[in-house]
C-alpha cells in the first residue's frame, strides 16, 4: 500500500483529526477476543449463492484505478499523510469482537480481507470545509472480493452494539454501527454495495463517521467519511461521503 506523506492542507488536517480521534480512545481497548482478527482473517463468511458473480477479471492494479489529483470536479484528491496513523499495519489492529474486523479495518483506511494489492487516497472540497472522504481500493483473486463483501455485510449486523478497535497507541470505541442505504452516493455499474454509519464519542461530543463499499468484479472500493474540523473544534461531527468522489471513482471502476 502506498501511504507516503504529502504536505498539503488536506493531509495535514486529516492527520490532525485522525490523531484526535485516536486520542479519544482509552488506550486500553478490550482485545481479549481478538484471536483471528489478523489481516484477512475475519471469520470468512461464504458468499450468498444469490450474490452476482464477478463479471470480469480486473486486470488493472489498485494504483492504476485510483483517482488522480484533479479528476473530481470541485475536489482535490491527494495521498494521505503517514503522520499519526491509527496503526502502522492491519495486523496491529486488535478487535474486541473478531467479527468486526472488516469494519475496524475499513474505518482505519486499510483494505478488508485477503487482497492482491491496495491503494489509498483522501479527498477534500476545494472550497475547504474540514470534511474528508478517504478512498481505499483493493484488488482480489477470483471469488475473494465476493467473500469479503459477505464478511462486511455480516459484520454490520453483528456489530450493531458497537466494538473497540485498538491500534498502536490508543483505541477507537465505536458505540454503534447502523446499516444505511447508498442512495445518496451513486454507484453506477457496481455488482454489490453496502453502507453503514458508526458513532464514537470524543470529550463528550458524538461523532458520526460513514463508510460505503462497492464491488466491481474483483475490485472493492471503500469510502470513509469524517468531519475533521469537528474534532479540531471540539464539537459533534457528522461525516458524509462526497457523492462526486464516489461518482468519479465508480466511473473508473466501471
Query: Is 95 among the domain residues?
Result: yes
For residue range 133-168, list pLDDT tens digits in order. Answer: 999 999 999 999 999 999 999 999 999 999 999 998
Q: What is the mean pLDDT of residues 197-225?
A: 94
For residue range 109-128, list pLDDT tens digits in order. Answer: 999 999 999 999 999 999 98
Q: What is the mean pLDDT of residues 82-102?
A: 90
Domain of residue 223, residue span: 9-43+81-253
In whole angstroms, what is the distance from residue 221 CA to residue 135 CA?
7
Distance between start and end Cα atoms, the chain: 22
CATH code, 173: 3.40.1000
- Is the per-residue pLDDT at 2 higher than 50? no
- C-alpha distances in Å from residue 250, one per residue of 63, 155, 215, 246: 14, 24, 10, 6
Q: What is the pLDDT of residue 17?
A: 60
Query: Is 64 among the domain residues?
Result: no
Query: Is 87 among the domain residues?
Result: yes
Least confident of 107-111, 166-170, 190-194: 166-170
Q: What is the mean pLDDT of residues 186-193?
A: 79
Looking at per-residue pLDDT, the higher value among 8 and 10 belongs to 10
Query: Is 101 among the domain residues?
Result: yes
In whole angstroms, what is the distance from residue 211 CA to residue 204 CA?
23
Looking at per-residue pLDDT, the higher value among 35 and 90 belongs to 90
* Mean pLDDT taken over the chain: 81
Query: Is 58 among the domain residues?
Result: no
Query: Residues 6 or more apart from 9 whose CB is under 8 A from it?
Result: 124, 128
Query: Is 62 among the domain residues?
Result: no
Number of separate domains in the chain: 1
- C-alpha distances in Å from residue 212, one per residue of 31, 113, 180: 26, 16, 9
Rg (Cα) of the chain, in Å, rounded? 17
Query: Is 31 among the domain residues?
Result: yes
Binned at pLDDT 50, 70 and 90, residue 207 comes out as very high
**91 is written with which cell numbers?**
495486523
Query: Is 217 among the domain residues?
Result: yes
- pTM for this prediction: 0.81
* Strand partners for 199: 176, 208
**169 is written with which cell numbers?**
497507541
Cβ neighbour number for residue 7 with a 10 Å cutoff:
8
In whole angstroms, what is the distance from residue 219 CA to residue 176 CA?
28
Binned at pLDDT 50, 70 and 90, residue 19 comes out as low
Binned at pLDDT 50, 70 and 90, residue 214 comes out as very high
Amino acid at each position: 500500500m502506498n501511504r507516503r506523506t504529502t504536505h498539503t492542507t488536506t493531509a495535514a488536517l486529516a492527520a490532525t483529526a485522525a490523531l484526535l480521534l485516536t486520542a479519544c480512545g482509552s488506550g486500553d481497548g478490550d482485545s481479549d477476543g481478538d484471536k483471528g482478527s489478523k489481516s484477512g482473517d475475519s471469520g470468512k463468511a461464504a458468499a450468498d449463492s444469490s450474490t452476482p458473480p464477478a463479471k470480469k477479471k480486473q486486470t488493472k492494479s489498485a494504483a492504476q484505478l485510483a483517482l488522480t489529483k484533479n479528476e473530481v470536479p470541485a475536489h482535490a484528491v491527494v495521498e494521505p499523510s503517514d503522520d499519526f496513523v491509527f496503526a502502522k499495519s492491519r495486523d496491529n489492529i486488535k478487535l474486541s469482537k473478531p467479527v468486526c474486523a472488516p469494519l475496524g479495518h475499513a474505518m482505519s483506511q486499510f483494505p478488508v480481507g485477503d487482497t492482491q494489492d491496495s491503494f489509498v487516497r483522501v479527498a477534500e472540497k476545494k472550497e475547504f470545509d474540514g470534511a474528508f472522504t478517504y478512498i481505499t481500493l483493493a484488488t482480489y483473486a477470483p471469488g475473494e472480493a465476493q467473500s469479503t463483501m459477505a464478511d462486511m455485510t455480516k459484520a454490520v449486523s453483528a456489530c450493531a452494539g458497537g466494538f473497540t478497535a485498538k491500534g498502536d497507541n490508543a483505541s477507537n470505541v465505536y458505540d454503534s454501527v447502523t446499516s444505511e442505504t447508498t442512495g445518496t452516493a451513486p454507484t453506477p455499474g457496481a455488482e454489490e454495495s453496502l453502507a453503514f454509519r458508526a458513532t464514537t464519542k470524543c470529550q463528550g461530543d458524538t461523532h458520526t463517521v460513514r463508510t460505503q463499499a462497492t464491488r466491481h468484479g474483483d475490485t472493492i472500493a471503500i469510502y470513509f467519511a469524517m468531519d475533521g474540523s469537528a474534532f479540531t473544534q471540539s464539537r459533534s461531527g457528522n461525516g458524509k461521503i462526497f457523492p462526486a468522489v464516489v461518482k468519479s471513482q465508480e466511473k473508473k471502476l466501471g
